[in-house]
């Protein structure tokens, strides 16, 4: 299989799936989710693979959706046919299904996070079984401020109501060390040690027979399925479409188109930037 947004590297029984758009900080375009789903499906029928590792090339794991592409697409579709909520839900549900290929993978998936992991990148990474991150990585969902709602909807399932509301009602990101403390990820390590530590964990998991790995993952995942995860994802995906078409969401998109995404993000995030300095004072 030829990929345009991924590279694959097998290290003994561990397959590394690498998001490979480093010039865009591995931002998600239309092809990436579908290529990821295919790569995971192929790994699941490859008898030489027992564990998958998902990581990003370059300076970041994933900076979310490619907003240069996404804002233009939203504008063009709405100009041509208007907003069809069902069409919107259908398209975004396809992306969620691709992200959830990590969750549905019979073989366990470890996400290796460095740099930024925000927006749609967090939707993606939270579908992995275990997340190990650099201590200085940044994980969050800034589109909670405007223009988005988490579609994989795994925040509350991973960290509980209080912490999920704290992050989603502000759009604040947390560093890897904080993410470990609140239970969002399994472990945070120095950036220089991340590849080694992920490899050691993956190799240890790969000592188990494949049938045991499948059964243990299924047992834990089913508990969350029984808590209504799929219903939450349906609501989250519907709300994401609504958020992009509120008066504030449309205004933000127009700002991005007229002045550039960076300028629109600076305007969105500006009121939140002094929080860190107030905490230190």
Q: Is 80 exceeded by the pLDDT of residue 280? A: no
Q: Structure tokens of 80?
A: 């041509």
pLDDT, tens digit, for every residue of 10-23? Answer: 999 999 999 999 99
31-38's contacts with Cβ under 8 Å and 24+ in sequence apart are: 31/4, 31/5, 32/5, 32/6, 33/94, 33/95, 33/98, 33/99, 33/124, 34/98, 35/3, 35/4, 35/5, 35/6, 36/6, 36/98, 36/99, 36/101, 36/102, 36/124, 37/97, 37/98, 37/101, 38/1
pLDDT, tens digit, for every residue of 58-74? Answer: 999 999 999 998 998 88
Quote the pTM value.
0.95
Q: Is 90 exceeded by the pLDDT of residue 177? A: yes
Q: Is 60 exceeded by the pLDDT of residue 155? A: yes
**All structural domains of the chain:** 6-190+210-270 (3.90.226.10)
User: Which pLDDT does position 278 carry in this prediction?
Assistant: 56
Average pLDDT over residues 149-170: 98
Q: What percent of the chain has pLDDT over 90?
A: 92
User: Which pLDDT does position 81 carry in this prediction?
Assistant: 84
User: Which pLDDT does position 276 carry in this prediction?
Assistant: 59
Average pLDDT over residues 268-274: 92
User: Which pLDDT does position 281 carry in this prediction?
Assistant: 44
pLDDT, tens digit, for every residue of 192-245? Answer: 999 999 999 999 999 999 999 999 999 999 999 999 999 999 999 999 999 999
Average pLDDT over residues 182-194: 98
């Amino acid at each position: 299989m030829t990929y345009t947004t991924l590279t694959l590297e097998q290290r003994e029984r561990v397959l590394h799936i690498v998001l490979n758009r480093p010039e865009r900080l591995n931002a998600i375009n239309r092809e990436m989710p579908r290529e990821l789903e295919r790569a995971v499906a192929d790994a699941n029928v490859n008898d030489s693979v027992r564990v998958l590792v998902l990581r990003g090339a370059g300076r970041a794991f994933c900076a979310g959706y490619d907003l240069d592409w996404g804002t233009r697409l939203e504008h063009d579709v709405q100009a041509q046919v208007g907003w069809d909520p069902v069409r919107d839900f259908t398209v975004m549900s396809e992306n969620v299904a691709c992200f959830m290929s990590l969750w549905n993978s019979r073989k366990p998936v470890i996400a290796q996070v460095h740099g930024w992991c925000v927006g749609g990148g967090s939707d993606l990474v939270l579908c992995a079984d275990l997340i190990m991150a650099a201590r200085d990585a940044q994980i969050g969902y800034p589109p909670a401020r405007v223009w988005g709602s988490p579609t994989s909807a795994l925040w509350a399932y991973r960290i509980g109501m209080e912490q999920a509301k704290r992050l989603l009602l502000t759009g604040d990101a947390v560093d890897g060390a904080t993410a470990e403390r609140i239970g969002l990820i399994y472990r945070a390590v120095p950036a220089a040690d991340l590849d080694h530590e992920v490899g050691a964990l993956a190799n240890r998991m790969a000592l188990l027979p494949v049938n045991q790995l499948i059964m243990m993952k299924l047992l834990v995942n089913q508990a969350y399925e029984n808590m209504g995860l799929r219903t939450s994802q349906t609501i989250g995906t519907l709300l994401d479409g609504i958020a992009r078409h509120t008066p504030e969401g449309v205004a933000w998109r127009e700002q991005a188109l007229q002045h550039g995404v960076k300028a629109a993000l600076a305007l969105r995030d500006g009121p939140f930037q002094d929080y860190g300095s107030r905490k230190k004072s």
